[in-house]
Amino acid sequence: MLPLIGLLLGIAVGLLLEPTLPLVLQPYLPIAIVAAMDALFGAFRAYLEGIFSDRVFVTSFISNVLIAALIVWIGDQIGVGSQLSTAVVVVLGIRIFTNAAAIRRALFHA
Amino acid sequence: MPEKPGSRSWRSLLRPGRGQVIAAVILFVVGLGGVVQIRMNAADDAYTNARREDLIQILDGLGTESRRLEGEIAELEQTRANLRSGADSQRVAREETEQRLDELSILAGTVPAKGPGIRMRITDPEQKVTAGVLLDAVQEMRDAGAEVIEVNDRVRVVASTWFADEGAALVVDGQRISRPLTVEVIGDPHSLEEAARFRGGLVSEITGPRVGGAVSVERLESVEVTSLHRPVKNQYARPASAAPTPR
């Protein structure tokens, strides 16, 4: 329940305060969001399987976000930024689907 | 006692564990970031995600478009200049036409006129000032540059004005003129007076023994001529060629 409230609060703050990100960080935000989604799905799966650990969650979340952004940043430096961001999105997308499948199995036993 | 479904989440809301708080904080961050990203994406989606080739193409298109619009601006400015000079020349033509109209209306006697000039009073007790004498007087005045001539405040002397004797009376343009005569003339007062007074001229003729009258000539700063000549439409005469347009 509390995490849901946190999510809604974040959306509300984003809509009402309209914060802006520094221009330097703007290209990495989409990748960071995908990485965060991956971490969230992983956490939800672990929660359903009864092996949720908040320390693992926080660590995985932060490291996922940072590593995804770092990969894209390096890609930008060496001129393959768009390709690498595609690669990151694909990998994270596969992981999200895997987690989602596990969540589905745990929830509906199907 | 079996727990009711949902009671676990209610209990967790009232006494949140550390994991719940951490998840809430992280979801807060994710929600915030997502909204920011969606708003940014909606604001300038056309260019942030465009590839370099697309951007070059867009830039090219914009360059072409701006060149085309610059050409259009130059064309329209040319048109505007043309129209402005056209309006100017039209204004000049209209001013010239109005000036011509003024001159011609004064010449034709269809408008009142005002200006420096002289007033001549001719008294001839013996009524010997004939149409011929009056015509001579008008000729002298015209010679001296008279622009407007009026007899007795009633008759405007124009190109077609005629003079006749009717017994002892004088008739000008069909109107009987009573004595003494007053002739008002607009023109250079000095030359007009000289033209009237020179030896053997108008004054000496009238004051001479043959007529035996008297003439008084006074120079005036402003002579006002209000009588008008009613123009008659030409019955026979037509312009041989089209009237010249003023410039």
User: What are A83-104's pLDDT values in tens digits?
Assistant: 888 899 999 999 999 999 998 8
Is a pLDDT exceeding 70 seen at residue A45? yes
> Which residues of chain A from 72 to 101 reach within 8 Å of chain B, CB to CB?
82
List CB contacts (< 8 A) between A69 and chain B: none
Residue B94 near residue B206 (C-beta atoms within 8 A): no
The pLDDT of residue B11: 59
The answer to whether B27 contacts chain A (CB < 8 Å) is yes
Joined together, the tokens standing for residue A53 give 């650990």
Position B247 scores a pLDDT of: 55
**pLDDT tens, N- to C-terminus, chain B (247 residues):** 444 545 555 555 566 677 778 888 888 888 888 888 888 777 766 676 667 778 888 899 999 999 999 999 999 999 999 999 988 999 999 999 999 998 888 888 888 888 999 998 888 887 778 888 888 888 888 888 888 888 888 888 888 888 888 887 888 888 888 878 888 999 888 888 888 888 777 888 888 887 788 888 888 888 888 888 887 788 888 888 776 665 5
Per CATH, the number for B115-225 is 3.30.70.1880
Q: In this complex, is the C-beta atom of A9 within 8 Å of any C-beta atom belonging to chain B?
A: yes
Q: Where are the alpha helices (DSSP H) in chain A?
A: 2-17, 29-49, 54-78, 81-108
Give chain A positions within 8 Å (CB) of B48: 26
Q: What is the pLDDT of residue B92?
A: 92
For residue A22, what are its two tokens? 């520094």
Count other Cβ atoms within 10 Å, centred on residue B66: 10
Distance CA B238, CA B244 (A): 14
